[in-house]
Structure 1
């Protein structure tokens, strides 16, 4: 009876306004991607981009995407981005979970101050860290390698914050019971708490993957070798060299470059919502 009454209830005026507003905003947000997809399928877009912009190609063709699949340089960039993203995800997830557990369940001197320092790293723009980071990696001779693309993922301030908030919601009695049974801190984390971190682990993996895959400024500074270019660098180089002369191919390349993150996000977005809800970021 209660379910039937809820389903039969007419939406209020405020709910209708909110729904219409969100629908309009979603259309505005997704329209550039639809336009990009349309130009990629436009056969004549390499000669002259369609104007005014249209969401439906006048001469549909998969010619541009066939060229994309035959592009060996793009495939190499995919491999570079995939390798860097996977390594960055592993490092950031592992370090975030370990640090989050330490800040949540551990007892050590200066814990609050150190946690504030970690949170402070979230407020420092990447642009202000470019020169010292570049100088450090250059001093060790690591420029034009994968290391500077992967190593900064070790300190993921937002991931540590999410992990700590998540571990705060897990009962301390589990750790106390393990200590009574003689379990070490390492065993307590890996065998008791770690199996409970599925949602937050998935969320950290998604967010870290998105950050690594979309990174442009930092790879642009530390990578000069074309063989090591990631997807954003390859797409920027291609767009700069060809401009609107090959608009259809450029848009097809752009579509191919964002396809992995779209697929990953669509399939795993529920974990982001679930973990944030469980981590209590709204406060207690």
Structure 2
């Protein structure tokens, strides 16, 4: 018995050590990025080997970033596109998940398989058809091509369906007995219970849309419409490593909203996974 407990302790220690090593490997590049952003001399030469405490510590790079008004425009563009895309994605995912979970209609399984199949199609395979469609509609170089395709969110529909599968059907039956329509049943009965899964979908959707690069690069040609990833890419392309400190300051500013959203909503992820039936 003692040997078994000792073996368990050793296994846990090895596991924790391995997790700490992996965490350091994952976090170290981000810490180095932040360190370089506070290093004024990094604009002349990137410190190597990497130093994680800048010497001297300076806000010079951030002052340069904010002196350039383009970052404010890029932030506003990213915020607008991300907010609209997240709203459409979450709304469509919750409604679709509810329909596939509680609805009774012909071809439900086939339609659900088709929705899941969209997760297997990479954006590169959809670039030409989407570009042709929006070009024919005269919507290129506007935010519409970036926002509209985000409505189809296969993973979100799948996750929402898994969640609603765990909610008793008796709630829907009771609402129908009281004369509630299907939409009223969803919005007044099921939607208030979907807080954890909604928070998880918001995090995943926000990260995906805020960091979207390839598709906006294709359809947004004007600099005034550039989002944060496009602005960062254009700045890096123009300056290369000659202004590494300023580039890293821009990169740090670009991930800051994602960190803020994650910090506020991350506690819902584990809860939603447990409630959605994905837990082992």
Match of 1:31 in 2: 28
- TM-score in terms of structure 2 length: 0.96
Match of 1:5 in 2: none
Inter-partner Cα distance in structure 1 for 2:48 and 2:176: 70
Inter-partner Cα distance in structure 1 for 2:94 and 2:168: 16
Inter-partner Cα distance in structure 1 for 2:18 and 2:227: 37
Match of 1:3 in 2: none
Match of 1:6 in 2: none
Matches for 1:82-231 after TM superposition, within 5 Å? 82-231=79-228
Q: Higher mean Cα deviation, 183-192 or 168-177?
A: 183-192
Match of 2:272 among 275, 278, 282: 275
- TM-score in terms of structure 1 length: 0.94
Offset, 1:11: 7.0
Inter-partner Cα distance in structure 2 for 1:86 and 1:111: 30
Inter-partner Cα distance in structure 2 for 1:94 and 1:104: 15
Match of 1:59 in 2: 56
Inter-partner Cα distance in structure 1 for 2:41 and 2:7: 49
What runs of 5+ residues in structure 2 fail to find an aligned partner? 1-5
Inter-partner Cα distance in structure 2 for 1:138 and 1:198: 38
Match of 2:259 among 257, 262, 282: 262
Offset, 1:59: 1.7
Q: How many equivalent residue pairs?
A: 275
1:19 aligns with 2:21: no
Offset, 1:190: 1.1
Q: Deviations over 1:125-147 (max 9, x none)?
A: 11111111111111101111011
Q: Deviations over 1:195-220 (max 9, x none)?
A: 11111111111111111000000101
Inter-partner Cα distance in structure 2 for 1:82 and 1:226: 16
What runs of 5+ residues in structure 1 fail to find an aligned partner? 1-8
Q: Deviations over 1:39-65 (max 9, x none)?
A: 111111111111222112122111001
Give secondary structure in 2 for the equivalent of 1:101. helix
> Hey, which bits of structure 1, 4+ residues long, moved more than 6 A?
none
Inter-partner Cα distance in structure 2 for 1:175 and 1:201: 20
Q: Deviations over 1:217-253 (max 9, x none)?
A: 0101111000000000000000010001111111111
Offset, 1:282: 4.3
Match of 2:72 in 1: 75
